[in-house]
Amino acid sequence: MPKSVRGTCPCGAPVRSKGRSEYGTKLWDRICWKCKANSYHKHKKDYCEFCGFKAVHAVQLDVDHIDGNHKNNDESNLMTLCANCHRLKTHVNKDYMPGISND
Predicted confidence (pLDDT) per residue in 22-65, tens digit: 888 888 888 887 887 677 778 889 999 999 999 999 889 999 99
Domain co-membership, 65 together with 20: no
Domain co-membership, 53 together with 21: no
Domain co-membership, 47 together with 96: yes
Domain co-membership, 28 together with 50: no
Three-state secondary-structure class, residue 97: coil
Domain co-membership, 1 together with 31: yes
Q: What is the pTM of this model?
A: 0.60
At 32, the amino acid letter reads C
Per-residue DSSP letters for 46-79? SB-TTT-PBPSSGGGEEEEETTS-TT---GGGEE
User: Contact 21/44 with Cβ under 8 angstroms?
Assistant: no
Domain co-membership, 31 together with 68: no
User: Contact 27/21 with Cβ under 8 angstroms?
Assistant: yes
Domain that includes residue 34, residue range: 1-39
Domain co-membership, 53 together with 12: no
Question: Considering the chain, what is the average pLDDT of its residues?
Answer: 83
Domain co-membership, 35 together with 71: no
Neighbours of 68 (CB within 10 A): 19
